[in-house]
A and B are shown apart, each in its own frame.
Chain A
């Protein structure tokens, strides 16, 4: 992997980040969140992805506008499978980040505590843009979602043959409805001159067993479903591993972009680390 996954991200060579989000009815169950307020997996996932999009826009925003370093999309799978962004961007697959910035579904106002400059905190209202609404309805057509993702990524890599490879992040709480390995491999087989597409998977926990984050050994996993998701996941790139170490984790060489039995904080870490490609120009 040493000479791959090193391409600089730029407006000429942007990279793509595609989320696959489980929207089955079991996503109504609460996500484990130690010490925090209960939140359904669907709400937690939507909140975290909205926050991620917000931060990505801010990272790319300059005085003259938002630089299109990234193309981002979300595929939801539940009672239906398809693009999951709400509002004006509804129905679209991979969208330049400048359009994400300019067309949220709505802007909510949320309270936030900020430093008052005198050693205290004051509450202030902050605009919180929303692109993804929580949905939890239907079964888990994960294979269909992978097929959709394969088509989207295949088109994208043909238009961007020299970009940092696209990243696909699958957020699910359930088991697939068929041979997941073949479906994931079809996406991973796509790529650019800088390497194969990256497929990362996070499984959300419904109860309290400890999460397993970025394992490098299949043997360490508790059951066959975890092993399947492990097999479907790409290795973290060196940059991602290094970033994970800075965040206090210790992924070994060969660690996969896979978290099993994730609670809220593990889901946040998964998305944070899994969306760190290489250098931004």
Chain B
């Protein structure tokens, strides 16, 4: 039986509606697939939360297929421009400038089929493939506990912006595989604890199972063990193969 945990908390001091992360999970029964999506809007973007949500919705509409997602980006951006641009009102100079700059987000998608899994994304939202609480791989694989703190590549809502190359991976689904999608603050903490030889996934899973995610993240922020940032996770334990 599928087990699924999702959780998201805004930066400490902000309201729920100011959370600029987004997450989605959908099951496509006909294809026998589960698709998960997570996105982290850039703080400097005026509409970071909405752009994150738009990316996740588009990823699900693409059934988690990178080629379909990429082919549909132009249409997504055109719709974004139409929906967020008002032609009738005189906008304040800074609203006009922010809209001209566009909105940005990092994101990652995961598709789990009968015997396979695949992922694609850009930026510093990570996917960990784990079993028995230990990581086999993470994507993008070049990120570590230090480089994840650097400025990432982001997907822009601007039709003229150059899209970053998406990193794509896939593999065979093995017995016991579990998948953890998370945004950068949580990913950085996980990578750091792994560097120290600890078991962050056990701590995280326990918190999710006991509905204590907010409490865990608050404690980590208070003790300065985690950056104060919107923090989100999707944890999927697929049906055994």
Contacts and interface: CB of A to CB of B under 8 A. Distances in A.
Contact of A58 (B47, B48, B94): B94
Given A12-B13, A63-B47, A117 B98 contact: no
A101 B94 contact: yes
A8 B228 contact: yes
Interface string B36-49: 00000001101110
Given A279-B228, A280-B43, A61 B11 contact: no
Interface string B152-186: 00000001100000000000000000000000000
A61 B98 contact: yes
Contacts of A63: 46-47, 50
Contacts of A61: 46, 94-95, 98
Contacts of B159: 117
A127 B97 contact: yes
A26 to B, nearest CB: 33
Contacts of B92: 101-102
Interface residues of B, number: 20
A280 B11 CA distance: 11
Interface string A111-142: 00001110000000011010000000000000
Interface string A176-206: 0000000000000000000000000000000
A58 B97 contact: yes
B228 A127 contact: no
A208 B52 CA distance: 50
B16 interface: no
Contacts of A58: 44, 94, 97-98, 101
Interface residues of A, number: 23
Interface in A25-59: 57-59
B206 interface: no
A66 B13 contact: no
A10 interface: yes
B89 to A, nearest CB: 14
A253 B44 CA distance: 30
A210 interface: no
Contacts of B98: 58, 61
Interface in B93-123: 93-98, 101
A115 B158 CA distance: 12
A171 B98 CA distance: 29
Contact of B14 (A127, A280, A281): A281
A107 interface: yes
A10 B92 CA distance: 23
A57 B11 CA distance: 21
Contacts of B47: 62-63
A115 B100 CA distance: 12
Contacts of B101: 58
A281 B46 contact: no
B90 to A, nearest CB: 11
A117 B94 contact: no
Contacts of A117: 159-160
Contacts of B94: 57-58, 61, 66, 101
Given A8-B228, A102-B92, A127-B96, A281 B13 contact: yes
A59 B42 CA distance: 11
Contacts of A57: 94
B188 to A, nearest CB: 14
Interface centre among A8, A61, A104, A127 (most CB of B within 10 A): A61
Contacts of A104: 93
A127 B96 CA distance: 9
Contacts of B228: 8, 279, 281
Given A61-B98, A62-B47, A117-B159, 20 more contacts: A8-B228, A10-B13, A12-B13, A58-B44, A58-B94, A58-B97, A58-B101, A59-B44, A62-B48, A63-B46, A101-B92, A104-B93, A115-B160, A116-B160, A117-B160, A127-B93, A129-B93, A281-B11, A281-B14, A281-B228
Interface of A: 8, 10, 12, 57-59, 61-63, 66, 101-102, 104, 107, 115-117, 126-127, 129, 279-281
Interface of B: 11, 13-14, 43-44, 46-48, 50, 92-98, 101, 159-160, 228
24 contacts: A58-B44, A58-B97, A58-B101, A61-B95, A61-B98, A62-B47, A62-B48, A63-B46, A63-B47, A63-B50, A66-B94, A101-B92, A115-B160, A116-B160, A117-B159, A117-B160, A126-B97, A127-B93, A127-B96, A127-B97, A129-B93, A279-B228, A280-B43, A281-B14
